[in-house]
Chains A and B, each alone.
Chain A
């Protein structure tokens, strides 16, 4: 764009990175100081609690944002359906660990479908069906899903693993059915398909799962309350303040090791740089994309389970998918879409911003507070970042070139 290039020197003269990087934290600290010591509306412990909460929320956003950023990095698709995949992951784990056990025919049917899905995914990597890994994996998945679905209750981490597995399969199947026929098509067509998939999953979720707010309380010690004193005040939190960030960190480190240390990860990075050339060099790009969807969906499912633990309930499927999804996408854009560390940074940053916005401007008799703008804030942030700096914090410039 000519207008952009002509304006660019002016932008460069001002050190925006420094202004934002130091100025906004400074403003926040001044505001905290004002609230704590001048008006005494809040004590410092409140802000420590908010920071802990922000870290939890930010980790969840980061887990979802990783899926967006990986898919965008490789096929340049804003995977609109990723939020819905997250929703499916959350609800799958809910149905795995709780509720009445499935009746035998339903349990067998779902187990068979999921076992087939696992075989499908394994076959993508192994390349042939007559392979002990493919057959064994499929049979194992069938047996374990059948057992889990007909059991009265299983532990939440087993539900987490199972949910990650089935959601990963769902991601691969979505890619195979909806996105792969459009590989050479314009990106807008791909985006429309993604919107259609998202709409499909939303409404299927409303039918298959529930139409209501669902309590999400597995039997676990992790949700127990926890309180400690900070500077005269008490911080109320739960053991999740350890679980969520640590689990997120483990998953992110695992993903980073996968991407940097394995052959498939190397192929992934190559495809992200230039899919065509990677294909010429012998990389099976379709397999790489399927892997990307598998990993992204698995992380989203993990995020879904932790989301349920964090909030104690799941919103109805049509809302649970879209809002965290769009916020996580905003996080991915803030961090720099296409970059893995960017997604984590953006997620944590968005978690902090969202929580501190409401904490910094409390409700007073004359001022109604800004809690009602909480969802608007994520959209507004997304728009502002896209308009001002589409490349995000760490991303390279991905704007379309001639």
Chain B
């Protein structure tokens, strides 16, 4: 299939999938199930935030922990700009209000009034005002992203993570001080923010779609590739001419912009803005989503967000009140599982006494506890009830610990969802052209004259040396049927494929060979061309 047709097909498939999502949203919207509606809206809002965090954490490889700070800025700006008049009056008449008349007058409605856009000032124009406020919130967050990013991006790795965490916390801590409380109304925050948008599936999913569109376009643009180069190796990227600071700051600013938009929607979703809505747990949830789904993969991140939102919304049976004996038994079960798990781990790692005394003791403690809980349900010390608030967060933390230990790259790794993958188009298989080249290279007849160890060992010569040195697993089998036909031609030097490779690449761009050399599996086609070039030079 030619490339343009593939592209058209992908576009049609994407549009079709979008239409299906829209139909599902319309069904959910019409059915009036509040919980499902809220869950989907939350998925979209947190999806925007997590995808934007992934631009920094996954694509650029900078661990940023200050995302909740940017969300706070976007959320507060949006809330302040669209706060309806009655909520403003309530704040103004309250004795504990910390706002000034000036900050209370900051409203998109007033600006539209001043501009004469009276059509958009009433309740009918709320959507336009929200949109404007949302984008202003995003831009203010982006501004803060620049302020935070420019100094801190000089650092690397874990120090950078701590600095971004510090900035995130500073934003939250200073928001309630006397310096900023005229804008944030101190610890009280705002209430009565219209929730027509944060709870609307159309708004949230449209913005999620916009975010995904921008992010994927960015990722596969030259800027995105530069960021990926920075992630893989900063020094190599710098040597290739990638401006480290510029790219990092740009990624940080874009990420902060979308975090601000997510914050605006989050405030609208909760129909209030308070400082304790923007604690570190938000960033932690996004971190879980990114790590679980796949660092650097936007589809993986959405998968991770789905997991997090599901646990958050449907995990409330975990936090119900249960009797004390149930908890005792659960604790015993946990210890028993830890003991048995330890034994299994030791067996898998082939440690010598599989049932080490420590493991056995742990299992026995757990077993006895479980037994006591079952037998002594009516025993006086085990009477009473207990409610475990926060079990969902514990579950998410455990999930992150387990994922980091067992599969640090997440479910999807760095792979993105693509239609070709869904339709089983194996891109990783060599094309016919590549097969022919590989076969030509692995032809024992040719290797015998060129190599120094000519005719030493037939089987050794079968494997192309270049491919083996580079760890190229794609080296073709010697009994591939296709290359035989090609090898029937008289002179290998006159092979049309090799002529093409030689002329088109080396002559035009002398940097070509070095620029693509250290790259990963993505440019496998180009690399095989390179290899054949080198090989031919050696032969000639």
Contacts and interface: CB of A to CB of B under 8 A. Distances in A.
Interface of A: 1-4, 76-78, 103-106, 109, 112-113, 116, 119-120, 123, 129, 177-178, 181-182, 185, 187-189, 191-193, 195-197, 199-200, 203-204, 206-207, 211, 322, 326, 329, 368, 372-373, 375-376, 379-380, 382-383, 386-387, 390, 399-400, 402
A3 B174 CA distance: 31
B236 to A, nearest CB: 11
B18 interface: no
A335 B1 CA distance: 64
Given A197-B397, A206-B390, A402-B235, A387 B173 contact: no
Given A129-B358, A386-B163, A188 B157 contact: yes
Given A199-B393, A379-B166, A113 B157 contact: no
B178 A1 contact: no
B382 interface: yes
A123 B170 CA distance: 44
Interface stretch (B43-51, B148-156, B487-495, B530-538): B148-156
6 contacts: A77-B158, A116-B358, A178-B401, A185-B408, A206-B389, A380-B170
A139 to B, nearest CB: 11
A211 B379 CA distance: 28
Given A113-B335, A192-B291, A207-B390, A383 B284 contact: no
Given A113-B335, A200-B394, A187 B157 contact: yes
Interface stretch (B300-308, B361-369, B427-435): B361-369
A76 B158 CA distance: 9
Nearest to B338: A177
Q: Choose among B161, B391, B404 the residue with the greatest number of A CB atoms under 10 Å from its CB.
A: B404
Given A109-B369, A206-B389, A120 B170 contact: no
A376 B170 contact: yes
A196 B401 contact: yes
CB-based closest 5 A-B pairs: A103-B381, A200-B397, A196-B400, A181-B405, A203-B390
A387 B158 contact: no
Interface string B382-403: 1000001111011011101100
Given A112-B365, A200-B394, A207-B390, A193 B404 contact: yes
B169 interface: yes
B376 interface: yes
A379 B388 CA distance: 32
Given A195-B400, A200-B397, A380-B170, 9 more contacts: A77-B158, A106-B381, A197-B397, A199-B396, A200-B401, A372-B177, A376-B174, A382-B163, A400-B156
B287 interface: yes
A129 B356 contact: yes
State the majority secondary structure of interface residues on A. helix
Nearest to B383: A103
Q: Choose among B154, B169, B235, B245 the residue with the greatest number of A CB atoms under 10 Å from its CB.
A: B169
Interface in B330-376: 331-332, 335, 356-358, 361-362, 365, 369, 372, 376
Interface of B: 61, 63, 65, 151-152, 154-159, 161-163, 165-167, 169-170, 173-174, 176-178, 235, 238, 245, 280-281, 284, 287-288, 291, 328, 331-332, 335, 356-358, 361-362, 365, 369, 372, 376, 379, 381-382, 388-391, 393-394, 396-398, 400-401, 404-406, 408
A76 B165 CA distance: 18
A78 to B, nearest CB: 5
A187 B158 contact: yes
Contacts of B165: 326
A210 to B, nearest CB: 11
A380 B335 CA distance: 42
A211 B389 contact: yes
A188 B158 contact: yes
Nearest to A105: B381
A256 to B, nearest CB: 26
Contacts of B390: 203-204, 206-207
A101 B37 CA distance: 48
Contacts of A120: 358
Q: Choose among A113, A188, A206 the residue with the greatest number of B CB atoms under 10 Å from its CB.
A: A188
A191 B159 contact: no
B158 A373 contact: no
A139 B404 CA distance: 35
A199 B163 contact: no
A141 to B, nearest CB: 13
A387 B152 contact: yes
A181 to B, nearest CB: 4
Contact of A193 (B177, B280, B405): B405
A367 B393 CA distance: 41
Contact of A386 (B63, B159, B173, B361): B159
Contacts of B173: 373, 375-376, 379
Contact of B382 (A105, A119, A129, A383): A105
A177 B245 CA distance: 37
B397 A199 contact: yes
A78 B65 CA distance: 14
B284 A195 contact: yes
B405 A191 contact: no
A169 to B, nearest CB: 13
A129 B369 contact: no
B155 A387 contact: yes
Nearest to A78: B158
Given A192-B400, A386-B155, A182 B358 contact: no
B174 A373 contact: yes
A379 B381 CA distance: 46
A368 B180 CA distance: 13
B394 A204 contact: yes
Q: Choose among A197, A383, A402 the residue with the greatest number of B CB atoms under 10 Å from its CB.
A: A383
B361 A116 contact: yes
Q: Choose among A104, A177, A182, A193 the residue with the greatest number of B CB atoms under 10 Å from its CB.
A: A193
Contact of A189 (B65, B176, B382, B404): B404
B389 A207 contact: yes
Contact of B358 (A3, A119, A207): A119
Contacts of A372: 176-178
A181 B406 CA distance: 8
A243 to B, nearest CB: 31
A119 to B, nearest CB: 6
A150 to B, nearest CB: 11
Nearest to B391: A207
A191 B397 contact: no
A227 to B, nearest CB: 34
A3 B238 CA distance: 12
A106 B331 CA distance: 11
Contacts of A119: 358, 361
B169 A379 contact: yes
Contacts of A386: 155, 159, 162-163
Nearest to B280: A322
A178 to B, nearest CB: 5
Contacts of B406: 181
A172 to B, nearest CB: 12
B365 A113 contact: yes
Contacts of B281: 199
A200 B394 CA distance: 5
Contacts of B361: 116, 119
Given A372-B177, A400-B157, A383 B167 contact: yes
Contact of B163 (A1, A113, A387): A387
B394 A1 contact: no
Q: Choose among B159, B167, B393 the residue with the greatest number of A CB atoms under 10 Å from its CB.
A: B159
B401 A197 contact: yes
Contacts of B156: 399-400
B154 A182 contact: no
A103 B327 CA distance: 14
B381 A3 contact: no
A274 to B, nearest CB: 19
Nearest to B285: A199
A236 B65 CA distance: 41
